[in-house]
Structure 1
Amino acid sequence: MRINKYISLTGYCSRRETERLIAAGRITINQLVCDHDDTVEPGDLVLIDGKTIKGKQENVYIILNKPAGITCTANKDVKSNLIDFINYPERIFAVGRLDKESEGLLLMTNDGDIVNEILRSENNHEKEYLVTCDRLITDEFIQGMSEGVQILNTTTKPCYVSRISDYEFRIILTQGLNRQIRRMCKVFGYRVERLQRVRIMNLKLGDLPVGEWRYLTAEELGELTALLD
């Protein structure tokens, strides 16, 4: 079994995070620093930072309403980091990111496999946002945003955009480029004043207060799993 899959199955972290640990030389197999393509055989000793990996714990799935000002990082050296903010007693990590200025729904879990399934852009999983801008929302802006915008040396995928009020619109994306909505708006001369994610696939923020979190219901988890399958 490849090392990144092995570690994600323990629930320690996602495959993507495992790749970063490997690149940093923090994972060893039988006392040898491992490479990205290394495999794990029964009886092998796998260590992270010289410590054994605890056995797989029960999977945890949490919805957090992230406030603005919290940085989506597990690095505790970063002020106002996500892990210190949620202060959960077990190791969990966010599925995707919201930039520091943005707020709203974050799915947090220790299930590395579900992270990979949701983040694969080719799966076209929907993420819905409410956005407030500094200028009147025009028909031309709505059309331009929905048809695709040139940012980061690529054209964004066509998406659903609708006006909510004079200064607010709704957008549903199926990709997650860095600061995508803010960059898209900037192309048209708009500045984002508030950005809130309200849905990931079937998971909705609802009336969860800002800064609070809750566990997924069995119904939500079942539907999410079915969508990913």
Structure 2
Amino acid sequence: MIRIQKYLSEKGMASRREAERLILAGKIMVNGKVERTLGTKIDPAKDRVEVLGRRERRAILLNKPEGYVVTKGAKEGQTIYHWLPKAFQNLAYVGRLDKGSSGMLILTDDGVLASHLTAEKYAVEKEYEVKTQEDVTPAMMQRLSGGIRLSDGLTKPAHAMKTGKKSFQIVLVQGKNRQIRRMAAAVGLTVVQLTRVRIGDIGIRNLKPGEWRVLAFNEINLFKN
């Protein structure tokens, strides 16, 4: 059993303080009946809780395969939405991956979540594994970590680490268009494979390319908090 305020907070539908105001205002329904008592507990597995005038926001995590675009306008079978059921076709991607890249992609209809994931002021880390055509050197990693001057400005400091003769790992807190490919090119590297493996504290785990899962309430709150 869990208090309604905590349940709504974990669902990302309202802060605990806001939930208290909604309860007192008669805006919360439990199993079709208005609930006005603070501290009432519900069973999330059995009880249906609604906020009048609001709908539950959704967020999923997709392991995007290489070779698919994130836009809906592409030919059938060439877009990431090919992998998603009808119920999730209206979700928008957050933090695009280009056609040649793969890995973690979050899709949601939660504008607050999308803002926290993309706005630079929140500095949410995105970790990538990169394979290159040329050999990687420590000097290259030092340059990538310190920031690279691109056509649209200087990149923020990153954390780049060599992981193999022709591979490296990089963690960014911003998302310029094709940023890693352009940064790599600036130090003499050609990217041949790019995979996003982590966003914030959430990793790709055991999701195979093309597989997806719903983000848990506590995972969504990790980004919002």
With the length of structure 2 as denominator, give the TM-score of the two structures. Answer: 0.71
Query: 1:164 Cα shift?
Result: 1.0
Alignment of 1:77-156 (within 5 A): 80-90=78-88, 91-156=90-155
State how far apart, in whole Å, the 2-side matches of 1:137 and 1:64 are: 29
Quote the Cα distance in structure 2 between the aligned partners of 1:198 and 1:204.
Answer: 6
1:56/1:101 CA distance change after superposition, 3 Å: farther
* Cα shift readout 1:88-123 (whole Å, capped 9, x = no counterpart): 424211111001100000011111221122211122
CA distance in 2, matches of 1:171, 1:62: 24
Retained in 2: the 8 A contact 1:76–1:83? no
- 1:78–1:119: structure 2 CA closer, same or farther, 3 Å change rule? farther
Say whether the 8 Å CA contact 2:76–2:82 is kept in structure 1.
no
2:66 paired residue number: 68
Contact 2:116 2:223 in 1 (8 A): no
Aligned equivalents of 2:214, 2:77: Cα separation in 1: 26
The structural deviation recorded for 1:217 is 2.5
Distance in 2 (CA, whole Å) between partners of 1:141 and 1:159 is 12
Q: Secondary structure at the match of 2:164?
A: coil
Q: How does 1:139-178 map to 2 (within 5 A)?
A: 139-178=138-177
Name 2:224's counterpart in structure 1: 225
Partners of 1:217 and 1:124 in 2: CA distance: 21
Q: What CA distance in whole angstroms lies between the structure 1 residues aligned with 2:76 and 2:155? A: 30
> Residue in 1 aligned with 2:206?
207
Amino acid of the residue matched to residue 89 of structure 1? A
How far, CA to CA, are the matches of 1:167 and 1:149 in structure 2?
Answer: 20
Runs of 4+ in 1 over 6 A off after TM superposition: none
Describe the shift of the 1:61–1:153 C-alpha distance in structure 2 as closer, same or farther (beyond 3 A).
Answer: closer
Scaled by the length of structure 1, the TM-score of the pair is 0.70
Larger Rg: 2
Aligned partners of 2:86 and 2:148: how far apart in 1? 38
SS at match of 1:164: strand
Q: Describe the SS at the equivalent of 2:160.
A: strand
Q: Percent identity?
A: 34
| Aligned alpha-carbon RMSD (Å) | 1.8
Q: Could you tell me how far apart the structure 2 residues matched to 1:214 and 1:134 are?
A: 33
Shift of 1:56: 4.8
Unaligned residue ranges in structure 1 (runs of 5+): 1-54
Stretch moving more, 182-191 or 216-225: 216-225
| Distance change in 2, residues 1:159/1:216 (3 Å) | same
Task: Give the number of equivalent residue pairs.
Answer: 172
Structure 2: where are the runs of 5+ without partners?
Answer: 1-52
**Contact 2:116-2:224 within 8 A present in 1 as well:** no
